[in-house]
Amino acid sequence: MVGTQQAERRVLRLTNPELSGIASNTLVANIQIVMPGEIARAHRHSGAALRLIIEGSGGYTVVNGERVPMSPGDLVLTPNWCWHDHANDTDAPMIWLDGLDTPLVRMLEAGFYEEYDRERQEIAAPVNASEWHYPMTEMQAALHRLAASGTADEIVLEYKNRRTGGPVMTTIACHMQLLRPGERTRARRQVCCMWSTGKAIRSSAASGSTGKTRTCSRCRPGRSASTSTAATGRRFCSASATRR
């Protein structure tokens, strides 16, 4: 197996057969493994990343000095330009799904990368409620509470930033869905929209579509720009085109 001395990150890339080495036009997806005793050295980049933990407990990521624990089902975030390193002090592998917005960053010609001056960061004092860690236990409890309410709607919840109440990252929104026994969801397909300096640019549905496209409520004029960046005023979110 290739070690961390030869490769900072050991991943298997998940690719769309119709695209060149990426999962979608705006996201890459990888399966990453950190073996017992290993450290994936610290660096930072202009792409934002999420980690959905698949296997292993006791490993952790350090984000700008904050130690973020990892357990199966947890969502762990490393927003753009945050220092981060991964470590596994247990006796079993840690495996997770990586999602990064690097195709979008490359399209905007905004890719930057920097290595930390040491292998790992110093760990700061712990915090009570991390902006970078969303435990599966919390999300699972919320999903079951919604299911117990008796709603006929699909059970889908969006992760919200603990500080701002908006999406957890500027360019990537994260959701989790619960499927009840025997449930079959409605067919749908996704498009995306982008707001820049108050002007909407929305991709059209595929040729021949009989679906109706609607703009996400966060993108409508007059709504709060909780996902905007102060520097450019850009917002990114998702909207859906559903076959009726």
Given a cut of 80, whether residue 4 has pLDDT beyond it is: no
Split at pLDDT 50, 70, 90, the class of 85 is very high
pLDDT tens profile 46-63: 999 999 999 999 999 999
8-state DSSP, 148: H
Given a cut of 50, whether residue 228 has pLDDT beyond it is: no
pLDDT at residue 10, as a whole number? 82
Region 146-160: mean pLDDT is 95
8-state DSSP, 103: H
Beta-bridged to residue 78, according to DSSP, are 49
Of the listed ranges 143-147, 160-164, 221-225, the one predicted with least confidence: 221-225
Region 119-134: mean pLDDT is 93
Given a cut of 70, whether residue 123 has pLDDT beyond it is: yes
Split at pLDDT 50, 70, 90, the class of 188 is confident
Given a cut of 90, whether residue 225 has pLDDT beyond it is: no
Given a cut of 90, whether residue 162 has pLDDT beyond it is: yes
What DSSP string describes 163-220?
Answer: TTSSBSSSS---EEEEPPTT--PPPEEEEEEEEETTEEEEPPPPTT---EE---GGGS
pLDDT at residue 110, as a whole number? 96
Across all residues in the chain, what is the average pLDDT? Answer: 80
The amino acid sitting at 176 is M
Both tokens of residue 18? 């119709």
pLDDT tens profile 190-200: 775 433 333 33
Give the CA count within 13 Å in the CB-facing half-sphere of 36. 3
With a CB cutoff of 8 Å and minimum separation 6, the contacts of 34 are: 4, 10, 40, 59, 86, 87, 88, 93, 94
Given a cut of 90, whether residue 171 has pLDDT beyond it is: yes
pLDDT at residue 176, as a whole number? 96
Of the listed ranges 19-28, 70-79, 170-179, 189-198, the one predicted with least confidence: 189-198
pTM of this structure: 0.76
